[in-house]
Structure 1
């Protein structure tokens, strides 16, 4: 690099000319640099932060999981031969998790996330934080006739308890011995619906909560010998256990994938934020094109002079490209520096509030991807206007150009532009967690860009054909929309994409919120009841009939099982779509029924007779079946209670999920599981709204009469979901601000680029007698029309996109929100008119004499 600077004569002439141009500084390219730097910083920051989370999860996987490997099974404990085989591999700790109702003698109750552990072995890895300090073996042991319990502070607040108070769980009275402050393996268990309650395994077995078919997850955490605890040894042990006990039905997690769902969610959210950053870059690309076009326009005399002295069009192009490339590289480096620092800044500011391990550092892959995005966007959007520099004629020295040259660049520059855009698409697909989504995004963005361009042309065409009104200001405003050098294309492109994204996020959020707050509660059940033992069904039905006889009770048997084979193929070999892949991982709820379940519609095949006694049959969800490539007659194998059960598909159902009724992906013929140990689940729906106090009273009575039944009040669950939706929507809106900031920057750049022509117009009109108020009104009308039309397009395009997201991805009805639409339109008009008039005031302040002397 030193030799290049010291001996520039060795450089090609075109590059040397471009570098000399850079000596003049970056004046006029602030918007260019800001747009590229903002987008690159967003992508680099999001990528680095997400990679830091994934790396942190990987490095701390042993602590997060609490073991080297965890073997999990539902309903019943693993057989003794399997447990003995695990024990032979290292140190084994057994635990169980479930949801249950904890209550106090006064009648109040709360849903809790119950965790029963072996106090002598838990935790195998990591530290259990307890206040007051103590050991699990001491605090959970039976003393004075009661087992001890550890709880989170939230449970104390809900039931107005303190350490030392009694707490009833099932048929057992516990004593609260301490508050849980740190649970090393909490992340591996996912997000819970209630506060944690930790007891011993002996206490769980005494509580009466363990019933045949109870929804209890048994976990066997294995810590290998430290001498053999390499990743290869962990994989060997897991493979050996699967080979020796293929019918055991356990799922396995290892320290290499301690929290796969969390890692997947991190990657998905980072994908969304990366697409937001890419959207900001694409919007910024409009600013790049505007800046380059403005540069070519300002340099027309210099370019013509170079050509008069013998420079070729190619030399001019390379010189200008060198200048633009240097500025793009500078902007990219600024963005990379900001993005690379983001994880450390977040950890330093709010790291203690993030319950996740974040490995800060430089991640070359993520930074290289962000740099590639930035440079490709700059190149793709600069080539077209740069190509026009090739054909600036020498005659530009001797006459003014009133209208811009509307000819296309030479074919070589068109090919180069297409190649740069293609490389940008390839990079987005290759670097994406979901290539299909990335490809759809890029195609959608291209479609919106083309459509916005057509919208701009349509505005200009309509304005050109409108009759001339008598009002002078209105006539000037209409003329400004289509005159040579009009701001119409720049303004529409600048705001359109950012406003469309804002409309999509707002409309999806409003549809989801309306579904939760309005549509669902009117038809949704008031309660869900889980883990109703077979032996308790008659008494449970009688209890509901006596206390809520007017309500509708829907009760179905429920088991848990995992798919093993679908259509003769192991589930590991099925490449399902992203939106249905979740059904293949972990356990799913399954049931059996004699009749077609409510909220379902038979769409293919026949339902079995009520007294069917032949080989097992199964009814499959139509959408899932199509996604897995299944058809009538295919075999489906599920593992239930450690046994593989195979049934043929008899029919497909369309399931209506939107009323929160009980539905299952698969429903088996009654003879398949009727004799198997299982529980029931039920919903209770009141014909009219009930006071909250009545519902709470029923919940407390249920907790007292049926301590083993888990009761969930639906309105509480909906409120929790609503709060989560609010947090997600707030985060999405915050992320979309990056795109809006880029849009505003580009708009400001477009208006700044048109400042010279505005000054010319204002001076001529003032010389001819136009007043300042008339000119302000004229420009305000022009900007208001542009902002309104652009916003209306954004609302239309955003509505279509939001409809696709809600109906095809989220499977909820789309609800158009006028408030969101008016908000987008109002925002666009305010921003466009505000920035436009800000530049207009500067133009109106120019004195006529100096401008006229230099015409």
Structure 2
């Protein structure tokens, strides 16, 4: 060891502070293996793998969508119009682009059996002879043969048009291939079950299964009437696919040539914008969850490093006894710890990189598009950066304490150096790494607002949990001495030097906070969909009621449901073009109000304020108003958008731009399920515009299924063109989506809970030697195994209770903040959900403590006493 002496005679070998020498000694120390670092490796690898895997999977899904963009869209460019077809001038412009163009009409309708006894809502897709232009639709015919001959399947044969349907539709109606399904005024023959619809993703979420017919079949059904809610799609496929510059040039020329068309233009790079947005948002959420797991794992890193320093005290003492300087001792231990951290990061990166391949292999048949399975360096680089920063942030503090501890203290003090604070430079380094972690998380987030909330909450949780840990120790130290020996031992263990209290409460508290928050968010969202529905809510929504049908429809409802309340309003579709003179696409809207500017919105007009309308600002227009167009806007989203009374907004309705002035704001309770609109116009604003009506039917008392289904059959038979949406069926569809989302959220949250469990196990492992000494000495003095076990279990139960109380409070507050201010969904504290998480915490702590304690109690006293 002469070569590390600080006072050796030969200057050529006096290099105890050199990086190369300290690194060499660190690597030499690692030859003994990684014993004691299992928790360290697991914490780092788990967090890095979750972040790398989530981001790689999101990018592979986005890549898959981009690769299949032309197939999903059905071509290179698509122009969408609501409630109207293109004009001759617009069609001439599109035909002059030198591309094939197919036309599709999307609408909702009611499919019925031939005997009118069964019916269900369907998403109807009427296609022309060019469909599909760039891929194949595969269906199975009556002989069980797969085919792609869409035109032949849909054509008219002996006066009957064909229909292709998803298997769900056939199952709901109980029909087989070759039998009849009625749409509108025509009976279609079911000629095949759709197995693969290439452009299904571009249609977004629907409330019913697909029914595909021909354009001529749509005419025969008489479903399209003036004002019907039909989306017309015109898709162009160029012989030589345009690059992005060409696609942008086409969109600009289309808008310049027909500025008032009101069409929405998409190209193959945004074939499924809703799905792409959902993937990005969910990936961001899961990344934050993964970062939480990594940060929670950082506590495990700190525990492991403390245990490492404690185990190396003889080595450190030997170094310092031979004159090694403090910086040299620090660097030797630092290089070892970071080498192990890098090993854990590499493991996490390998696992994360393989996630897209694993998902494609295991779930490829269930995915909407094939994943673009390849390495994503940016996703892996981000995860590696997070891993390095977490390792530095949590390792520098315990490593820094070894520098200034004298060799004599290292030999004599079996408590180690856990009570000592490192020099300021190590504290600054740890703080800089933690700040860097927050800065990276903030900068890479798509939603800086959400990221800022997360970082603030995480930082506050760490500080508060540290304070809770110290408070528990202080209370245990100052509390009256109980008569029970087990209770005395438990309290002493909680506050003694080197106690597990801060680590256990920090790790378990963070995991519990996330568990309680996610559980309450999940339960509240479900409650919003079911329990929060008013006692008296509509049973049905009826759409596409024509002006010529509205009186007959009202008479039918009065006859068939005399105790029910019928409400109806005129309804059109419109798209916001500009607000305050700013184009909608350029308007900076907060996330919670952005939906108002996206896509088409249902709009209506009213001469007088509807019954129950609550104006929050402004006045309603007179019944005979005939001045400039006015509009009533929803209050909450209006304020979020920065709108004020007198501001102008422009809406495109049926290719006509209407500019109206905001006359008032009104409160809207969407949860009531009553007829509500974001915008209600004065009647003169929409004078002469063709429209249909929207109606609701509400029973005075809850109607049973038989009553509702009987009304549904009667209305559908009398008015085949009216679309009936049964609220209970719609909620079932939404609940199914929420269940899938909740399953993914629970899976992501489990990563953090696993990290918390690992950290807790690491904390218990770090205190194993102290527990062993305690148990042996107590057994030697005559303590029974049961008394020692009771003392340890009481200690773990008290720590678990303290962490559970914090997790309950912090998790509830986090759920409240997310639901109220991010999702604007409302919050209700649900004791059964929250206290269920508390029970899990106590079982977790006591269970792990029991496992560790049982192993300790089995040790023979003699070998331990000889080594004291």
State the alpha-carbon separation in 1 of the partners of residues 456 and 823 from structure 2: 21
The answer on whether the counterparts of 2:313 and 2:411 sit within 8 Å (CA) in structure 1 is: no
Report the Cα offset of residue 402 of structure 1: 4.9
Q: Decide which of 93, 103, 119 is 1:85's aligned counterpart.
A: 93
Query: Is 1:15 aligned with 2:26?
Result: no
SS in structure 1 opposite 2:161?
Answer: strand
The answer on whether the counterparts of 1:340 and 1:362 sit within 8 Å (CA) in structure 2 is: yes
Change (3 A) 1:11 1:761: closer
SS in structure 1 opposite 2:548?
Answer: helix
State the alpha-carbon separation in 1 of the partners of residues 394 and 611 from structure 2: 55
State the alpha-carbon separation in 1 of the partners of residues 53 and 611 from structure 2: 48
State the alpha-carbon separation in 2 of the partners of residues 269 and 483 from structure 1: 44
State the alpha-carbon separation in 2 of the partners of residues 642 and 25 from structure 1: 73
Aligned residue number for residue 117 of structure 1: 127
Query: Is 1:727 aligned with 2:727?
Result: no
TM-score, normalising length: structure 1: 0.96
Structure 1: gaps spanning 5 or more residues: 1-7
The answer on whether the counterparts of 2:136 and 2:148 sit within 8 Å (CA) in structure 1 is: no
Q: Decide which of 653, 660, 663 is 2:676's aligned counterpart.
A: 663
Report the Cα offset of residue 404 of structure 1: 4.6
Aligned residue number for residue 4 of structure 1: none
Structure 2: gaps spanning 5 or more residues: 1-14, 142-146
Change (3 A) 1:326 1:724: same
State the alpha-carbon separation in 1 of the partners of residues 19 and 644 from structure 2: 67
Aligned residue number for residue 41 of structure 1: 49
Aligned residue number for residue 604 of structure 1: 617
Query: Is 1:409 aligned with 2:417?
Result: no
Q: Decide which of 794, 808, 814 is 2:807's aligned counterpart.
A: 794
Change (3 A) 1:521 1:652: closer
- The correspondence of residues 426-505 of structure 1 with structure 2, limited to 5 A, is 426-505=439-518
Q: Decide which of 247, 254, 262 is 1:234's aligned counterpart.
A: 247
Report the Cα offset of residue 251 of structure 1: 0.3
Number of residue-to-residue matches in the alignment: 846
State the alpha-carbon separation in 1 of the partners of residues 114 and 344 from structure 2: 66
Change (3 A) 1:398 1:355: closer
Report the Cα offset of residue 219 of structure 1: 0.4
State the alpha-carbon separation in 1 of the partners of residues 148 and 196 from structure 2: 13
Query: Is 1:145 aligned with 2:159?
Result: yes
Aligned residue number for residue 704 of structure 2: 691
The answer on whether the counterparts of 1:301 and 1:396 sit within 8 Å (CA) in structure 2 is: no
State the alpha-carbon separation in 2 of the partners of residues 161 and 397 from structure 1: 83
The answer on whether the counterparts of 2:114 and 2:187 sit within 8 Å (CA) in structure 1 is: no
The answer on whether the counterparts of 1:93 and 1:221 sit within 8 Å (CA) in structure 2 is: yes
Report the Cα offset of residue 299 of structure 1: 2.5
Aligned residue number for residue 822 of structure 1: 835
Aligned residue number for residue 636 of structure 2: 623
SS in structure 1 opposite 2:254?
Answer: helix
State the alpha-carbon separation in 1 of the partners of residues 256 and 224 from structure 2: 30
Q: Decide which of 579, 586, 603 is 1:590's aligned counterpart.
A: 603
The answer on whether the counterparts of 2:68 and 2:369 sit within 8 Å (CA) in structure 1 is: no
Report the Cα offset of residue 530 of structure 1: 1.0
Q: Decide which of 523, 532, 543 is 1:519's aligned counterpart.
A: 532
SS in structure 2 opposite 1:63?
Answer: helix
Q: Decide which of 193, 204, 209 is 1:179's aligned counterpart.
A: 193
State the alpha-carbon separation in 2 of the partners of residues 439 and 594 from structure 1: 45
SS in structure 2 opposite 1:792?
Answer: helix
Report the Cα offset of residue 556 of structure 1: 1.4
SS in structure 1 opposite 2:324?
Answer: coil
Aligned residue number for residue 68 of structure 1: 76
State the alpha-carbon separation in 1 of the partners of residues 676 and 708 from structure 2: 23
Change (3 A) 1:73 1:331: same
Aligned residue number for residue 5 of structure 1: none
SS in structure 2 opposite 1:520?
Answer: coil
State the alpha-carbon separation in 1 of the partners of residues 738 and 598 from structure 2: 24
Report the Cα offset of residue 601 of structure 1: 2.4
Q: Decide which of 825, 828, 842 is 2:855's aligned counterpart.
A: 842
Q: Decide which of 29, 40, 52 is 1:32's aligned counterpart.
A: 40
State the alpha-carbon separation in 2 of the partners of residues 398 and 527 from structure 1: 80
The answer on whether the counterparts of 1:404 and 1:484 sit within 8 Å (CA) in structure 2 is: no
Report the Cα offset of residue 401 of structure 1: 5.5
Q: Decide which of 322, 328, 332 is 2:341's aligned counterpart.
A: 328
Report the Cα offset of residue 529 of structure 1: 0.8
State the alpha-carbon separation in 2 of the partners of residues 180 and 521 from structure 1: 39
Query: Is 1:299 aligned with 2:312?
Result: yes
Report the Cα offset of residue 521 of structure 1: 5.8
Query: Is 1:769 aligned with 2:782?
Result: yes
TM-score, normalising length: structure 2: 0.95
The answer on whether the counterparts of 2:572 and 2:692 sit within 8 Å (CA) in structure 1 is: yes
Aligned residue number for residue 11 of structure 2: none
Aligned residue number for residue 716 of structure 2: 703
Aligned residue number for residue 373 of structure 2: 360
Change (3 A) 1:829 1:443: same
Query: Is 1:211 aligned with 2:221?
Result: no
The answer on whether the counterparts of 1:96 and 1:217 sit within 8 Å (CA) in structure 2 is: yes
SS in structure 2 opposite 1:179?
Answer: strand
State the alpha-carbon separation in 2 of the partners of residues 407 and 645 from structure 1: 72
Report the Cα offset of residue 153 of structure 1: 1.4
SS in structure 2 opposite 1:164?
Answer: coil
Q: Decide which of 195, 199, 203 is 1:189's aligned counterpart.
A: 203
Q: Deviations over 1:660-703 (max 9, x none)?
A: 11111111112211421111111111111111011011011111
Change (3 A) 1:235 1:554: same
SS in structure 1 opposite 2:834?
Answer: helix
Change (3 A) 1:553 1:296: same
SS in structure 1 opposite 2:480?
Answer: coil
Q: Decide which of 72, 92, 96 is 2:105's aligned counterpart.
A: 96
Report the Cα offset of residue 829 of structure 1: 1.1
The answer on whether the counterparts of 2:79 and 2:264 sit within 8 Å (CA) in structure 1 is: yes
SS in structure 1 opposite 2:454?
Answer: helix
My pick for the range that moved more, 206-215 or 244-253, is 206-215
Change (3 A) 1:292 1:301: same
The answer on whether the counterparts of 2:577 and 2:650 sit within 8 Å (CA) in structure 1 is: yes
State the alpha-carbon separation in 2 of the partners of residues 24 and 33 from structure 1: 16
State the alpha-carbon separation in 1 of the partners of residues 415 and 756 from structure 2: 29
Aligned residue number for residue 298 of structure 2: 285
Change (3 A) 1:420 1:17: same
Q: Deviations over 1:511-540 (max 9, x none)?
A: 222232323162321001111112211111
Q: Decide which of 525, 533, 557 is 2:546's aligned counterpart.
A: 533
My pick for the range that moved more, 256-265 or 130-139, is 130-139
The answer on whether the counterparts of 1:600 and 1:656 sit within 8 Å (CA) in structure 2 is: no
Q: Deviations over 1:23-48 (max 9, x none)?
A: 22111111000000011111111111
SS in structure 1 opposite 2:732?
Answer: helix
State the alpha-carbon separation in 1 of the partners of residues 512 and 818 from structure 2: 17
State the alpha-carbon separation in 2 of the partners of residues 412 and 462 from structure 1: 32
Aligned residue number for residue 552 of structure 1: 565
State the alpha-carbon separation in 1 of the partners of residues 481 and 371 from structure 2: 64
State the alpha-carbon separation in 2 of the partners of residues 611 and 284 from structure 1: 68
Report the Cα offset of residue 12 of structure 1: 2.6
Aligned residue number for residue 556 of structure 2: 543
Change (3 A) 1:134 1:350: closer
Report the Cα offset of residue 403 of structure 1: 7.5
Q: Deviations over 1:757-816 (max 9, x none)?
A: 001111111122211011111111111111122112111111111122223333333222
CA RMSD of aligned residues (A): 1.7
Q: Decide which of 325, 330, 333 is 1:317's aligned counterpart.
A: 330
Q: Decide which of 119, 128, 149 is 2:137's aligned counterpart.
A: 128
State the alpha-carbon separation in 2 of the partners of residues 234 and 850 from structure 1: 79
The answer on whether the counterparts of 2:536 and 2:701 sit within 8 Å (CA) in structure 1 is: no
State the alpha-carbon separation in 1 of the partners of residues 366 and 255 from structure 2: 39
State the alpha-carbon separation in 2 of the partners of residues 598 and 315 from structure 1: 80
The answer on whether the counterparts of 2:107 and 2:124 sit within 8 Å (CA) in structure 1 is: yes
Q: Deviations over 1:683-737 (max 9, x none)?
A: 1111111110110110111111111111000011112222222222122112111
